[in-house]
Structures are given as C-alpha cells and as structure tokens.
Structure 1
C-alpha cells in the first residue's frame, strides 16, 4: 500500500456510512475497483475499494471497517488504479493478516514488482494440461484422489470434522517430487486458537522459507475476508509463473468467504438469490478457483485446494454445489469415519479427482497405482453393500465371502486410511499398505488387478482362510 501513488484531489462529501460501506458524493473521474484512501480527522488512515459508481456517487467498501468513523471531516482520495501489492520471494517465510500486513513482528513485505490483486485471466490457448502429481503425504489422498499440479480440488467438510487439521497437514507435508515448491495458506474467519494452531503446525515450513501465511480471524473486518484469497493467489501466481515454483494454495474456509460476500451484498441492497447469497456467487468463486493452472513455456504451476464446510452436511448447499461445478473433483470428509476415530476421515466412495489419471501411473507415481486404486474403490463399494445387508439380516447370515468383505472394510480404515496427524506417509508406503489390505480378499475378487501384478505379488487362493496370502508369508 505504501507504494501507491495517490491523486492530489481529496473528496470530503461522505454522505453515509453503512456497515463496511461508505457513500461519497460529488466525485468525478473515478472508476470501478479503484483503490481508495480515507483519512480521519485524527490523521488515521484507512483504505477501501470502489464497489459501484453512479454518476457522481461512489460506493466504497472500507477494508478496516467503518468502526469509530464519522462522515464529517473524512477526506477520501483515489489512486486511479485497482489495489496492487508487492510480489516476489519476499513473501516467503512471512505471516500476515488478511490484508497482507505483517503480524510476525517483521518489516512490511517488499517486492521487485507490483501486481493487482484481482489477477489476470489465463489465456486458454496458453494453458498447459496438468500432468504431474503434488504429493500431500496423506495416504488416502495420494492413492485415491491424487492431486495434480495445476488442479483445483476442494475438500468438503462439516462442522466438527477436522478439516483445518487436514488442511494444515497437507500444507506442512506436500512436495512436488524434489522441484522448487512453496505453499500459500489463506485462513479466513478463523478463531484465535485456530490461527495459533495453524501457525504452530506450519512453523517448520515457514522457517524453511517455503510458506506464505495469511490469517484472517473471525473478529477482523468482513471486507478483509474477501481480500484474503485474492492476495494469496496474486502472491502464488508470481512465485509460480515468474519464480518458477510449484505453488499449492490452501484456502480455508471458503464458506466463511461466501458468508462475507453475502453480508456485503445485503449491505449494498442487492436482490438475493438462493439461500440469500448474491446471484453472482458462482462467477465470484470461479474468479478465484480459475486462477490455478500451468502456462506453456513456463516451469511453475498454481494448484488450489479450497476447504469448505457444508452447513448441516448438505452437499446441495450453494457453496459446495457451485464449487463442485467449477472444480475437478472433491475430497469428502465423513462423520461416520470420524466417529470411528480414523484420521483423516475421508469418504473414499464420495471423493474423486477427475485429473488423477493425468498425474498418476507409469512415469509419474508407480505403474500399479491406478489399478490398485480402482480395485480398492471397487472392493470398498462391495463392502459397503455387504455392511448394509448385515444391518438387515445380521452377520451370522452372511456367506464366508461376504464376511471377508467386512474384514476388508475394517482393514481399509485402520491399516490404510488411518494416519497420525503429524506424520508424513510416502506414496511407496501407501501403496504397499493398499496391497496388504487387498490381499485379505480372495484372488477371484481382485478383478480390477491384472494377473501379472497378482503373480508378481505371489498371490494365490488360500482355501483354509478363504483369502490370499503372499508366497512364503
């Protein structure tokens, strides 16, 4: 903000203050989305963005809120351009609030250039299709819903589920196969204990100069919440497309962001749409999610992992519903799995990565990755059917094969999905665990796996146990 060049004209006719908004009269030569500076009689300065221009009336949203402001005596100046921030590697290792101001005791962030926080849409002709994985160190995610560089893959959660812990774990552990990698973590509407938890969980990555941390807490101005993901993505784009890094942007909680958007929309008197959210919620979310990707001829990438909570665990709620239209899959957290004490409580059958086949398999992860993942999901679907049948007729009425699927379901959760919150799991270890779980089933049930893979594992029918064992095991 300090590098902004302000005009010589200041306007003093502030007609009204309404929530986080200010109505300024008698204004000329001002355009939409311009950056504004508001000077109070005491000399204190606040900042805002132009939301609307109607002849000589301008509606400004105040970033620091309008608390303690009096329309009389205010002076408003406009920069003649949208909000810009410095960009560059100076952001790495820093902890800032949702506006990008440091809260780590360090100096302001400086950069070699300035960039508008609104971003610039990528030319579709210049987009490079995603093709390499980002390994999160979370086994259930890496094996079954592989995250691909340049992808947007949301996490759907609900109140009471450990989505923040999972987001912090992914941010702390993720890698890009030894290439230059950074994480930009944008927290929105966090409580102070949650913000402290995130700082502690990501302290090691921050100390290594691989993390940018933006924290907007619940008691910060609501307008700041709308700015936080845009600043995060602006920083990430420069680190990726200018600095040549692979950047993972974790944004949580997008439902808090959407509620802030709804609040500002109501203050503006806009006609509400579904669930009182503004009618432009879809395009607003898309303006964030679509800023990920890769550019032909440039080495870096921006991958987006938005985390959102579904009110009442309703996946048809506008925020998850519209997010699902824009993004390429979803990771869904399960209340039932969480109640069993499994972390992360991923519902594998409801989760999907539509770009997984582009980023996994021979030459990218491991040759057996895709068939093993397909077999896990197929067997899990059958196990869920058997469990529903057992609820109706009782386990004693099940066949031996069906009881084997119940054992598989238990092994899948305990031996494959369950993982300590502070421990990274390599993909090699994850796939070996997957094989051990699958080999509890008879070979005749492993129809998604080629015979050569089963033969390489030395798997054979075990008539006594009704399952498969490895030769010599």
Structure 2
C-alpha cells in the first residue's frame, strides 16, 4: 500500500523536509503534487529517523507547506532501456528531448548500477582506436579502461571529444558492435548544439546515445546525468554484447554541483569546500568501467575535466588521478602554438596499454616505438632547457638533430588536425619516420634487429623535406665524435 503525505515541514532552497515518514529508503524517488495538479519529481537524499529530506528536481517554487501532496514511489530512480536508445537524445535525468517520443522500455534499471563482484571482472585487453596518433601510439586506450582527459580553461577539449566520438572504433571488427554514450554536464546551449550538430553531420548519431544537462538545469539533474549515461552503457555492453565508450564532460561541473548540493544539506566541507565523500562519489562513477565474465561487451570511460587555474593538484583532478588508470593531459603551450590536439606527451600515460598492444592487438613493434618516442621527446625537452642557457650554436650535432626531431614530432605527429583519422599502422609508420631522423645509435630502446627492419633515413629526409647535405654532414660529425 502506498501512503500519501499532505503538507511539508520545511522548504529550504531545492530541499523539502517531511516528518513522520516511515519505511523510506535513501535515493528513493518521490512525487510531489502541487495545488494546481502538476507533479514534480524528487529524491530522498537524507534520512534522520522518521524525518526525510527530499531534493526536488524542478525546484520548490509554488510549493505549499500545507497542501503539497507527497508520495513515495518505493524505488530509486530508474532509466527506461531498450536498443532504441541508440541515436536518441535525452535530458540529464534520462527524459527524451529530441521530439521522437518516449522509449518503449524492454526493462528499467536503477541508475546507481548493480553491485559488481570484483572476482567477476576480466582484465582489460585489446584497444579502442581513436584515430589520434598521440593517443593510439603513446597512451593507448584499452577496452574496459578509465582514461580521463585533463584540460584547462580555453583548451579544445570539446573539439577533441567530438573527434574521438567521430573516429573511435574497436580494432578487430571495424566498429561492428561499437557504440558511444556521450554525456554533457553543465554546458551552455551553444556547446550542447555543437555536440549534437557535429555528431549528426559526421553521420555517427545512429551509434551514439546523448545525455545533455544544460547550465540552467537543476543541479540535482547534473548529479544524475553520468549515472544515467553509465546505466545505458552497461545495458548495451552486458545485455547486447557491445563495446561501449562513455565520454562525459565536464566532471568539474559535476563536482561543483555536488559541492553546492552538499552545502545545501549543511554537511561539513572538506578540501576547497568539496564534500569529504568526493573520492568515493567519483569512484562510484569511474569504477563502473570494465569487462565482466560471461559478457562479450565492455564499458570504457573517458571522463573529461577542466582543471581550475590549470592546477593538477586541485581536488577534482587529484582524486581522479588516484582512481583512474592514467590520464591524457592537454598542454597550454602546444595550444598556444596552434597545435591540435595539444596533448602533452610527457605528463600523459595509460597504465594498461602494455597489456593491450603489440602482437595480436596492434603491431609487434608498437611498444618499442612508443618507448623510443617517449625517450627521445624527453631528451628534446632537456636539450631545449640547455639551449636556453648556452644557445643553439653551442649544441653538439646530435643535440641539434634532437631539436629537429622535436620540432617535426610536434608538427607532424602531435599536430594532426580535426578531420585527420589515422590507422594504427599509419601512426606507427609515422613514428618510425620521425625516429629515422636521428642517428641510428640513438635508438637505444629498441632491439637492433627491429631498428634494421624499420629505420629508413633517406625516406625520412625526403618525406620531411630536410636538407640531405646538412644531415649527412651532421651525422658524420656525430659518428666521428662517438655520439
């Protein structure tokens, strides 16, 4: 039997308080009927004995302390699910907003997800091809991984997100059984329109499920948005055996909504005003990535967050880094140079890539190329620091080659363009072409037999339009000096 409560004890912002409520559950959904007959939804966010606090989704304007009728529905918020969600656009609370009508639900599922036995997890293997060289080669995205993008103010993370959605595919079957769940939180109308229009123009909308929470939507909806997105992803992955990539932006907007919500409940704040449970709350999202035994599908996450003042020690990126398996960091200096995507190679990494690349997955030399490119680009930064002290004219011939390599690496490998989609073979071949600029003896992270197989200095000179006479002279000097 369902009870209906008449009247409210308190109204405080978007929160209402009811007394003498029995049998209530945390996160249980509530229906509030106003005097004019309209209904609003809410969610129980706090229980103290028979006193419950309800967060009202649409706000508390026009609610009456004496006449509002409240009904507990007996279950947490659920999302209507079927294969029809592909190609559809939903609000942050999971309601269709594309004008195509409601979803004919095969089932409904709790947006908080189901408990997953850690023993039932399968270690992530194989990779998702994004078509972006710096990601695919140097910080490979593995199926079932959670790999965030750390961005900053004014950086093109929205553009990068769109490019990944347009180009991403699983490697072994050319994209068959692959889907993207895209969630935007706290974005402006023009940004939301940009996402939607870009996916439609690229012709990928039929494999995308979109959840859009605008900046003027209620903050409680912002807290629900990633949970709705992950519930949709889990349904497609574990009941329809699809490989699902979940991209949600901006996690910082989500955390700020959580901070505002926590403050409205009168909770004791933690670092920078965020609630003390921020770590566990983020973990409840990030840990929903993975692969489980008995299912052919997978859920992979790319959460995007903007770092306030580009501070990587800020609580949001700091805690995210503890939970996730690496990060992709965007670099403001590369962005200022006009390089797109401005991915900072050295502070970025993917901790799971070693087990999802190489023979049987990408190419046998992938790990070697990746390690050597990292080592060479790191030496480039050291040479640049030295140059700022002694000047470029005083550099050794080998260090001058590193300077040349660094410039070409940024211009041709990192800098790719929004519409360029490279296969993993094209990316690795480009990596070898760049490494072939350097003296052969500098490639000390790769077995000599592999170097002999792929090293082609003459091709590199031709492809990058370098001066052959200068290079031969510099290489001769480098070999003569033992460098």
Match of 1:17 in 2: 11
- State whether residues 205 and 211 of structure 1, in contact with CA within 8 Å, keep that contact through their aligned partners in structure 2: no
**Bigger helix share:** 2
SS in 1 for 2:321: helix
Match of 1:258 in 2: 255
SS in 2 for 1:265: helix
Please report the RMSD computed on the Cα atoms of aligned residues, expressed in angstroms: 1.6
Deviation of 1:204 after TM superposition, in Å, equals 5.0
Structure 2 unaligned blocks of 5 or more: 459-470, 478-483
- TM-score, structure 2 normalization: 0.93
- State whether residues 329 and 353 of structure 1, in contact with CA within 8 Å, keep that contact through their aligned partners in structure 2: yes
Q: Does 1:121 align with 2:105?
A: no
Taking the aligned partners of 1:208 and 1:50, their CA distance within structure 2 comes to 35
Describe the shift of the 1:85–1:460 C-alpha distance in structure 2 as closer, same or farther (beyond 3 A).
Answer: closer
Deviates more, 1:393-402 or 1:277-286: 393-402
Taking the aligned partners of 2:446 and 2:213, their CA distance within structure 1 comes to 47
Taking the aligned partners of 1:176 and 1:80, their CA distance within structure 2 comes to 40
- State whether residues 282 and 322 of structure 1, in contact with CA within 8 Å, keep that contact through their aligned partners in structure 2: yes
Deviation of 1:73 after TM superposition, in Å, equals 2.1
Match of 1:333 in 2: 330
Of the three residues 78, 85, 96, the one matched with 1:84 is: 78
Match of 1:28 in 2: 22
Of the three residues 216, 223, 241, the one matched with 1:226 is: 223
- State whether residues 130 and 293 of structure 1, in contact with CA within 8 Å, keep that contact through their aligned partners in structure 2: yes
SS in 2 for 1:350: strand
Q: Does 1:48 align with 2:42?
A: yes
- State whether residues 36 and 49 of structure 1, in contact with CA within 8 Å, keep that contact through their aligned partners in structure 2: yes
Deviation of 1:69 after TM superposition, in Å, equals 3.1
Match of 2:269 in 1: 272
Q: Does 1:166 align with 2:160?
A: yes
Q: Deviations over 1:421-460 (max 9, x none)?
A: 1332211111111111111111111111221222112546
Deviation of 1:143 after TM superposition, in Å, equals 0.6
Deviates more, 1:397-406 or 1:91-100: 397-406
Match of 2:189 in 1: 192
Structure 1 unaligned blocks of 5 or more: 1-6, 469-473
1:421-460 paired onto structure 2 within 5 Å: 421-459=418-456
SS in 1 for 2:163: helix
Deviation of 1:85 after TM superposition, in Å, equals 1.3
SS in 2 for 1:308: strand
Deviation of 1:467 after TM superposition, in Å, equals 8.5
Deviation of 1:369 after TM superposition, in Å, equals 0.8
Deviates more, 1:149-158 or 1:453-462: 453-462
Taking the aligned partners of 1:359 and 1:258, their CA distance within structure 2 comes to 31
Describe the shift of the 1:193–1:73 C-alpha distance in structure 2 as closer, same or farther (beyond 3 A).
Answer: same
Deviates more, 1:279-288 or 1:411-420: 411-420
Q: Deviations over 1:323-363 (max 9, x none)?
A: 01100000000000101101110000000000001111111
Taking the aligned partners of 1:335 and 1:70, their CA distance within structure 2 comes to 51
Deviates more, 1:296-305 or 1:70-79: 70-79
Taking the aligned partners of 2:425 and 2:12, their CA distance within structure 1 comes to 57
Match of 1:3 in 2: none
Describe the shift of the 1:206–1:458 C-alpha distance in structure 2 as closer, same or farther (beyond 3 A).
Answer: closer
- State whether residues 437 and 457 of structure 2, in contact with CA within 8 Å, keep that contact through their aligned partners in structure 1: no
Q: Does 1:283 align with 2:277?
A: no
Q: Deviations over 1:148-182 (max 9, x none)?
A: 00000000011111111111211221101224100
SS in 2 for 1:453: helix
Describe the shift of the 1:68–1:445 C-alpha distance in structure 2 as closer, same or farther (beyond 3 A).
Answer: farther
Taking the aligned partners of 2:405 and 2:229, their CA distance within structure 1 comes to 42
- Aligned residue pairs total 462
- State whether residues 85 and 116 of structure 1, in contact with CA within 8 Å, keep that contact through their aligned partners in structure 2: yes
Q: Does 1:246 align with 2:207?
A: no
Q: Does 1:352 align with 2:349?
A: yes
Match of 1:217 in 2: 214
Describe the shift of the 1:67–1:143 C-alpha distance in structure 2 as closer, same or farther (beyond 3 A).
Answer: farther
Match of 1:4 in 2: none
Deviation of 1:205 after TM superposition, in Å, equals 6.4
Taking the aligned partners of 1:458 and 1:33, their CA distance within structure 2 comes to 60
